[in-house]
Amino acid sequence: MASPVWPHRTSWAAVGIWATATLLIGLWNTLLAHQGVIERELLYLGEKALLVFHGRPPRLENLGFVSPPLPYAFVLITQSPLWGTAAIGGLLLAAAIAWMRRAQNDPWVLALGIALAATPPGLHLLSQSPRAGLLTLSLLASFVWLRRYCASQATVHLFLFGLVSSSIFLTAYEAVLLVPIMVLPVTMESRPVRENLAIFGTALTPSLFMMAGWAYLNWIFLGHPWAFFEGWQLGLIEKGTSSPGLANGVRQMGSFLASSWFSLLPWIVVGADTVFRRQGCWPTTLIMMGMPLLWIFLQGALGMPLRTETVPLFWACSLLAHGTQECGACVLPQPRRFLRLALLGAFVASWLLPQLEGAESLRQIVVGRTQVHSWIAERELVAVLRHEPGTVLLDDARLFPIVLLEGNPQRFLLPYEYEFQSALRTPSLFARFVVVDSSGDDQLTRVHPLARHGILPGFFLRSRHGELLLYERIAPSRRLGPQLEEREKRDHTRKP
């Protein structure tokens, strides 16, 4: 009959940390953007959100069908990839601090754990990787609830695990394969088979439902149940990625461990402690410790590149797992001191040693050794376009950075628009400029294969920016000339 006492004071503190962290990360992101540092993922999500609000016509499908949907939701709400990502980073940081405060009673470990957020991999995760940030948050939250269920056997914890883990699919599709692995240790405890099956079923149902529901929605609205997976792969997986396969997964795992082992010292210490002591829900804890490694393997097996954001996932798992240990019965001598040293070592190493792509750029900027510029070709091309009015025809499946960097989607003729197919056949009737990626395969190069080599009927090659080719129409068609000119003038003036 007691009355509820929510929200707790700690909840308000977490909200405060979230707001502060979002502000700081947002400012940091803005600073980075001015320096020319912005990840492909942010541009992708930003362009999709831009088309919702300022497209011609507004691309309403992008309200709900941009993949992956959860990271995109933050960008959509804030209408800014920089601040949307900052909100995710802030959320992750606030949640991690809240969980660590509950789990850790060593202030040094807590302080060093928070300090890891200020390392290049930590900063990269918080400020440049909305998908990885949310995935880390989802994985950690799933583990928090699963471990609570393991300890308390309260159904509400299993219920919440199911709900939280289903968000993994909506954050990073391939990571849904990790969910059954997480649940396995819990279902291997000594219970009746029927109960274990029920737990397994309950834990997986939300994820299965999300998969089925999302595929169904894609089928209904986009005509293809796996459209979400293909669209996302096309937009976000960078060119030159290695081919998928189990061997690649193992290779990627090995290369990651070899290159980043010093950063993984806390993980090694806590992992060893867990294995030696085998206390409480240790199988769940062990799976939790192994999850980042599995994630790297999975990405490799699916042919995805090695990402730097995985390093903070190792740290977060270690700190959470360590919080579950009862130090009175430690096998390793003085594990707290070991952990403090390991955390300190990881912190120093992440600043001194070269990091994987992404985090390395941040390290370079902060250390100040080199000036980092990304998207140079795109920026140059946009600079040209900004001085010239007229409609631009391009396929934004891969060239989305240009749309976002230009900032005015109304002057672009994009595949979702009704006229796009007609424009593909006779670009000169519809656009003054055409942009082609000479190294890629898009709808334009499929219709006009020679466009990769500088030849597009009715256009001349105005400029080349890296692998991007900018074509400009030779002369307006005699018959439709005045109308075209008038239309282009009108389009150009319809700025949002």
Partner 1 sequence: MWDCGCASKATVFPRLGELLLDSGLITEADIAEALEVQKERGGRLGWILMSLGKIRRLDLFQALADQYCIPFFRDGVDELLRHAQVELAHRLSFQEVVSTHLLPWYQEGTVLHLLTDYPCATDRQAFFAATFPEATAFRLHLVTDLDFARLVQRIYRHEMLDEAIHGLFYRAPEESANPVFTRRQILALGFLGNAALFLFYFHPILAAQFFFAAVQVLFLVSVLFKLLVSLVGAGQELAEPVTNEEVRTLRDEELPVYTILVPVYREPEVVGHLVHALKAMDYPQHKLDVLLLLEEDDTATLEAAKAAAPPGNWRFLILPDAQPKTKPKACNYGVFFSRGEFLTIYDAEDRPEPDQLKKAVVAFRKNPETVVCFQAALNYFNARENLITKLFTLEYSYWFDYLLPGLDRLGLPIPLGGTSNHFRTRILKELGAWDPFNVTEDADLGIRACASGFRVGIINSTTFEEANSRYRNWIRQRSRWIKGYLQTALVYNRRPLQMLRRLGFKNWLGFQLFILGTPLLFLCNPIVWAVFLGWLATGTKALDPFFPPLLVYIGLFNLLIGNFFGIYLNMIAVYRRKIYGLLPVALLNPLYWLFFHSVAAYKALWQLVAKPFYWEKTEHGLTRMAPPH
Binding residues for partner 1 (CB under 8 A): 1-4, 60, 63-64, 152-156, 158-160, 162-163, 192, 194-195, 197-198, 201-202, 205-206, 209, 213, 216-217
Measured distance CA(267)–CA(322) in Å, rounded? 9
Nearer of residues 153 and 463 to partner 1, judged by Cβ: 153
Nearer of residues 216 and 416 to partner 1, judged by Cβ: 216
Amino acid letter for position 339: L
Q: How far is the CB of 442 from partner 1 (least distance, A)?
A: 28
CB-neighbour burial class of residue 168 (10 A; exposed 0-12, middle 13-18, buried 19+): buried
Largest Cα–Cα distance in the chain?
A: 88
Nearer of residues 4 and 107 to partner 1, judged by Cβ: 4
Q: How far is the CB of 488 from partner 1 (least distance, A)?
A: 29
Q: Respond yes or no on whether the N-terminal peptide bond of residue 68 is cis (omega within 30° of 0).
A: yes
Nearer of residues 159 and 420 to partner 1, judged by Cβ: 159
Number of C-beta neighbours around residue 405 at 10 A: 19
- In the three-class reduction of DSSP (H, G, I as helix; E, B as strand; rest coil), residue 70 is classed as helix
Q: How far is the CB of 77 from partner 1 (least distance, A)?
A: 14
Q: How far is the CB of 203 from partner 1 (least distance, A)?
A: 10
Return left, alpha or beta for 466; rule: phi > 0 is left, psi -120 to 50 is alpha, else beta: left
Measured distance CA(108)–CA(114) in Å, rounded? 10
Angle at 436 between CA 430 and CA 440, to 5 degrees: 140
Q: How far is the CB of 147 from partner 1 (least distance, A)?
A: 16
Nearer of residues 65 and 400 to partner 1, judged by Cβ: 65
Q: Where are the strands (E) in 245-344, listed by range?
A: none
Nearer of residues 65 and 256 to partner 1, judged by Cβ: 65
Amino acid letter for position 369: R
Q: How far is the CB of 190 from partner 1 (least distance, A)?
A: 15
Q: In what order do the strands lie in the sheet with 412-413?
A: 412-413, 392-393, 433-437, 468-473, 459-465
Nearer of residues 218 and 260 to partner 1, judged by Cβ: 218
Q: How far is the CB of 90 from partner 1 (least distance, A)?
A: 25
